[in-house]
Structure 1
């Protein structure tokens, strides 16, 4: 669920599979229209090399799917299932981790555009009394500050006791089917003092999005999952994207997810962690999708199909983090080495790393995923750098 994964790279045996074309190319009529992918098109060959480099980290498999005005293509390396020669393919589902935040932020902004709430409403306006204690006060935190991570709230996934008891090592294996409510997770965060006063600093926190999910439910009168299906998934035809709620399964076909549970080194055991409770990541990182669905979502978002242009501008009003990075409302802007800027989000969850991004006009979009959680995220950045900078 973290924005910038920093687990050590390690080596393991992987099966290298070269994908054969499976479909005919269909150029999209607009950035929100699904393009059927073919194996790598001219101008995109460097992507396959980057995926092969990802295999050197020991990840079992890697997949990248790109779409632009000429159509869609994909590159694949390794295997979807450890020990088998099953190439990762565009139709394979995976847990997207914090890529979910783009969907959550969009759903909340949609409610603002409809006049159901205001982004500058306080958290307390919608969740009275929930955020209190240890210097935390929901009366002083706005919904906008939740979405751009300037609330100062502590990230519940960083709590040392919770990290040790549920999120790492053997304890994760023992507790990965445990269920939590968002309120329970928020309560963990509130045992800590805030990192900064609201609006006075930036700190990435899954607690912000657990709260955003609850606000979506309160303002819409529907569950978080129902609201996303009604206003995003069904209108866009994202038929391979799901909000699992409490289901521990990943619908087939899918990439199996593998983890070393935070251990370093090539000798660390590798575990299949595909099945797990999605209630810990909840609205901050619970969703399951495919690379083409993520591209379709970003194409629609960037072209104003999901939120009106004035509200999209607010989503892209970003807090500077460095010379290359800034963070808007659920959207990370990254300036690439070639000078282009793309908008999207990365995702890390046990078993998977992913990143989806698009140009501001939505005309060029790409998603990359590996079915392991230990490679350094900069390697996924490199895949997208090559796609956006070395192709038209």
Structure 2
């Protein structure tokens, strides 16, 4: 999966997650002119420009509320090209994939085919063993909520060299990975803590969830996502690409500056089996927005299952944020909290927010990641959070 943060980041594939936290973006260019549908005076456009000014090469924002759909853009689709960003371009959604996989899993729970608190040894006998990792003491719930203690395979450069350097990327961008291979790599590391006693983001958790879905249904997690979510919702531009390393057009260019490099690498082409059920999907802002609105509106899960998904555990060192079962929450400035799950990939980063009733949603996609500019990444993150909060708290939902 494209772009990953540093080994200590919870959102990037390599760091232990594809979620969006502490992502570092690079490149500053002049903002593209506003289109007629993007009034220059709007708060949403000003906030979009602020993300670009903070360091993102390009930014696309989609906002929806009853009777309102807005798209704002700032920056470029490719550094120093002058090429405008597509209004609804394809991008690799990274860890946002986890919310799709968790939704399918909870549908299987509702059907009585899975139980959240049963040991994963029930479905994957003997798979999770070694270095203190023991599937007999880890539940499905703990995988979904990142409380299993299982380490992330993305923290091992030798296992996923394409995520760690420009040379590694070029030599491995077409490489196929199997779920068993990814899990085996993770189990060479010791368990991080006793299951259920702490929280730590790990992509390995969701690779295992994908394996469980396949064991229970006899079909891949990707097939289940397609038939249970994508087709019923008409999300025609969202895919689980398998070994296909190419994004459909139109799309921005993924640009990733690896640690120690002084120039970005074009990372647009990548075999995403390296992310598997932890982050292998791609989509468009319009599709991903519709998915989250449907989820929070109760169209994909029953009340009991949605409540399980929204039962959160505090995320360490991130006040006001919690992690449920493949879904995060953040306190908003206008009271209550909004729901989301972002994703980082090689050269792409995204974050979103949806109100509890599913009536307002906003999604931010950025292209360009620089692992060497931690301060710039923090500025981009802060500007992104500010945009989401402003949009969801605007007094008039039709004028974000």
TM-score (norm 2): 0.87
Match of 1:79 in 2: 76
In structure 1, distance between residues paired with 2:231 and 2:337: 29
Q: Quick check: 2:31–2:75 contact (8 Å CA) kept in 1? A: yes
2:89 and 2:335 mapped to 1: Cα distance?
Answer: 32
Aligned to 2:338: 342
In structure 1, runs of 5+ residues without a counterpart are: 22-38
**Alignment correspondent of 1:291:** 285
1:380 maps to which of 358, 369, 384: 384
Alpha-carbon shift at residue 210 of structure 1 (Å): 0.3
1:369 to 365, 372, 377: 365
SS at 2:159 equivalent: helix
What SS does the aligned partner of 2:272 have? coil
Matches within 5 A, 1:1-392: 1=12, 2=17, 3-10=19-26, 12-21=27-36, 39-40=37-38, 45-162=42-159, 165-169=161-165, 170-263=167-260, 268-321=262-315, 322-374=318-370, 375-376=377-378, 377-391=381-395, 392=397
Shift of 1:372: 1.4
Q: TM-score, normalised by structure 1?
A: 0.89
> Over aligned residues, Cα RMSD in angstroms?
1.9
Q: What is the CA distance between 1:8 and its match in structure 2?
A: 4.4
Deviations 1:263-296 (A, max 9, x none): 47xxx21121111010111110111011111111
Q: Does the 8 Å contact 1:15/1:60 carry over to 2? A: no
Q: Counterpart in 1 of 2:3?
A: none
Alpha-carbon deviation of 1:7? 4.5
User: How many Å separate the matches in 2 of 1:172 and 1:353?
Assistant: 18
Q: Are 1:65 and 1:366, in contact at CA under 8 Å, matched by a contact in 2?
A: yes
Distance 2:240 2:34 in 1: 29
Cα separation, 2, equivalents of 1:300 and 1:55: 29
Q: CA deviation at 1:9?
A: 5.0
Which runs of structure 1 show a deviation greater than 4 angstroms over 4 or more consecutive aligned residues? 7-10
